[in-house]
Structure 1
């Protein structure tokens, strides 16, 4: 049995949904279908989720919502019309959209979560109706029905693993395809709460583990995961197979194909993952598997980079001799509810790297003030934009000369580094670099390692 998840670009309009239908109909093992909300149909289009968030904002501010409601309805109606689905079949969806602004919510966060979740919630209902209309019996399954529980963090929910027992009882004995909305679950109070970015990937991974699937297929708009961002290198090498840990490292550092958190349930369940292209379903795609299943390990699997980071640089003589120094820093971060990504250090220096998308300016200002007052460093600098490059590969484990192959092309191209750090797993090397140099650095490293 396979769990197949389709992203927003795969469900943007009727033509795309026809492709999805053909893919699902071609394999009876594709039993569980997890869907996102309809995405962009063209460059300047608006995702349905973004329309719903505008609807939420208008509701909170008591602004007339008629126009935005009609825009949301139109997206679903246009898909239905492509398949000649009777208009009366959409009455319940229209009522749900209108009713969103009339319900009571425990907080504005829960309001935003419920509105956003309805992109997937409504689309799953529509997909089930259309598939059945086309002759493939399908049933919408509300995450509430299978007990998919999350914590009370309304807009960045964490899955409650006790839900696996309930998910495992889902009846798969019928000939129906089961259509499940991604991106959200329910709190114990019955409120909708959404996962963070890429949340439909998380739902798919949860369902695959909960049902002990043979394979988790993640359909997107690319035919494979590539060794480097195609926007930086034209026609880069595709990755046929990679390990869970390689995917985690690369997703974290910039690979946008797969949410770095989404892979965790699959890892825990030992479920193989196949990234495939909705528009080219015959392409083999990329398999993500346990390390024991990888064949023909190459020195480097992929190179990722991201500029979403910021860094704090601290210098103080003999900090390595001061017992509890790092603990004092961590206590300040805890006080201001700040998590950090990495903390490379030397005998007199310490750099703390943060995901700046999770920080407010107030948190930054308060943290810097407290470190300055309590730690009294000789030098304290805040670097608001800090580039990270991650070179990842199982073949780097115990490989002599791996760092040389990475650093030498940078030296030859006159590119300096701010930080070099190898993970304890030995499958990744992280470079800190000025953001404006990152793309050229990636090109230099890729061309040397892959011998372009």
Structure 2
């Protein structure tokens, strides 16, 4: 049995529905189907999830909602009409959409979560209606029916372990089971959503709970590539990679697959197949356990992200002061700041942060506390910072990889401010200036994938 998930671009309109139905029916193992909300039909189009957020905000601000309701409803109506679903059935969905403001929510954050989740809920219900109209045996199941229980974090919920037991006990119906992605129910019965793009998470949870043979994730790209096509022209597609390679690369910007969704798949050792809805004949990328994996290349991919910043701290005889790092961590804790890495020397250390968690005020207050409590000889905030991840299972037992990474950068006068090799020996992290990162990625990619050909 396979669990198959379709992204928003794959469910944007009637013709796309037609494509995914052909994909579903082409393989009898595709028994469980997870839907996203309708995505963009063209470049300047709106995603239904964004329209639902606007709908929720208008309700909270006590503004008129009739126009936004109609805009959202038109998206579903057009898909239903494409397949000649009766108005009687379609109006059931319209009524659910219109009645959202009349429901009871624990607070405004839960209201927003419920509105967002209905992009997936209504699309799953609509797909079920369309399949039934085509005389295909299909059944809709909500998260509540399946027993998907999540933590009480309305916008960033985590799946709770009891969900897997509930799925194990669930009796799969004959035919296709259609499930909305992106959300679950708290123990109090409130809708809570995963982080944005969380339908991937739902698919992985179902694949684990139903003990699927494969989790197929259909999106709008042919495969996962060895580098970002926006940086490297025509990069190689990755035929097969391991879970941990994807995790490492996702950290630096590989965004084809939601990085949290890998965890349920790892727990269940379920292979993930990322494929293109528009080219279903292509094999895509397989993401598999490391056991028995054979690497065809030294590195699998190289990625970069520039949402980082660094704090450089120098103090003479730093290495001899007991408790220095503990004091520093207490300051981070005070401001609810997490750090990514902390490479150090005998008299200095650099702390790397995801800078999206800072406001200017928090950053200034934190640095002031560090000066007052730790008395560094120098303290510098470096905002111009990017991280590059070079990842590959083939690096583990290969001598000379570091030189092959650094040499082309030196030849192009690209400075490297930090180097960190993970304990697993399948990843090397570099810190550079933001402006240098794209060129560094191109040089590394060329040296491993082109120069050696």
The TM-score with structure 1 as length reference comes to: 0.97
Number of the residue aligned with 2:66: 66
Please report how far the alpha carbon of residue 382 of structure 1 lies from its aligned counterpart in structure 2 after TM superposition: 2.0
Please report how far the alpha carbon of residue 385 of structure 1 lies from its aligned counterpart in structure 2 after TM superposition: 4.1
Number of the residue aligned with 1:420: 419
Please report how far the alpha carbon of residue 359 of structure 1 lies from its aligned counterpart in structure 2 after TM superposition: 3.4
Distance 1:345 1:125 in 2: 54
Distance 1:434 1:446 in 2: 18
- Aligned ranges 1:103-182 → 2 under 5 Å: 103-172=103-172, 174-182=173-181
Please report how far the alpha carbon of residue 333 of structure 1 lies from its aligned counterpart in structure 2 after TM superposition: 1.4
- Aligned ranges 1:339-358 → 2 under 5 Å: 339-358=338-357
Please report how far the alpha carbon of residue 98 of structure 1 lies from its aligned counterpart in structure 2 after TM superposition: 1.1
Superimposed CA distance per residue, residues 204-239 of structure 1 (whole angstroms, 9 cap, x where no aligned partner): 111111111100001111111110001111111111
Superimposed CA distance per residue, residues 13-39 of structure 1 (whole angstroms, 9 cap, x where no aligned partner): 111111100000111110111111111
Number of the residue aligned with 1:18: 18
- Aligned ranges 1:206-221 → 2 under 5 Å: 206-221=205-220
Number of the residue aligned with 1:290: 289
Please report how far the alpha carbon of residue 295 of structure 1 lies from its aligned counterpart in structure 2 after TM superposition: 2.8
Distance 1:121 1:222, change over 3 A: same
Distance 2:383 2:129 in 1: 49
Distance 2:73 2:221 in 1: 29
SS of the residue aligned with 1:398?
coil
Number of the residue aligned with 2:335: 336
Superimposed CA distance per residue, residues 79-133 of structure 1 (whole angstroms, 9 cap, x where no aligned partner): 1111111121111211111111222222221111111111111111111111111
Number of the residue aligned with 1:431: 430
The Cα RMSD (Å) is 1.3
SS of the residue aligned with 1:262?
helix
Distance 1:69 1:414 in 2: 55
1:402 aligned to 2:407?
no
Number of the residue aligned with 2:92: 92
Please report how far the alpha carbon of residue 168 of structure 1 lies from its aligned counterpart in structure 2 after TM superposition: 1.1
Extract structure 1 runs of 4+ deviating beyond 6 A: none
CA contact (8 A) 1:274 1:286 kept: yes
Distance 1:6 1:307 in 2: 29
Unaligned runs of 5+ in 1: none
Superimposed CA distance per residue, residues 419-446 of structure 1 (whole angstroms, 9 cap, x where no aligned partner): 1111111100001111111111111111
1:5 aligned to 2:2?
no
CA contact (8 A) 1:299 1:395 kept: yes
CA contact (8 A) 2:295 2:393 kept: no
Distance 1:390 1:332, change over 3 A: same
Distance 1:165 1:321 in 2: 51
Number of residues paired by the alignment?
451
CA contact (8 A) 1:305 1:438 kept: yes
SS of the residue aligned with 1:4?
strand
Number of the residue aligned with 2:311: 312
SS of the residue aligned with 1:293?
coil
Distance 2:198 2:327 in 1: 35
CA contact (8 A) 1:146 1:166 kept: yes
CA contact (8 A) 1:308 1:385 kept: no
The TM-score with structure 2 as length reference comes to: 0.97
Distance 2:267 2:53 in 1: 33
SS of the residue aligned with 2:264?
helix
Distance 1:385 1:69, change over 3 A: farther
Superimposed CA distance per residue, residues 157-193 of structure 1 (whole angstroms, 9 cap, x where no aligned partner): 1110121000112212x32211111111111111111
Distance 1:426 1:396 in 2: 7
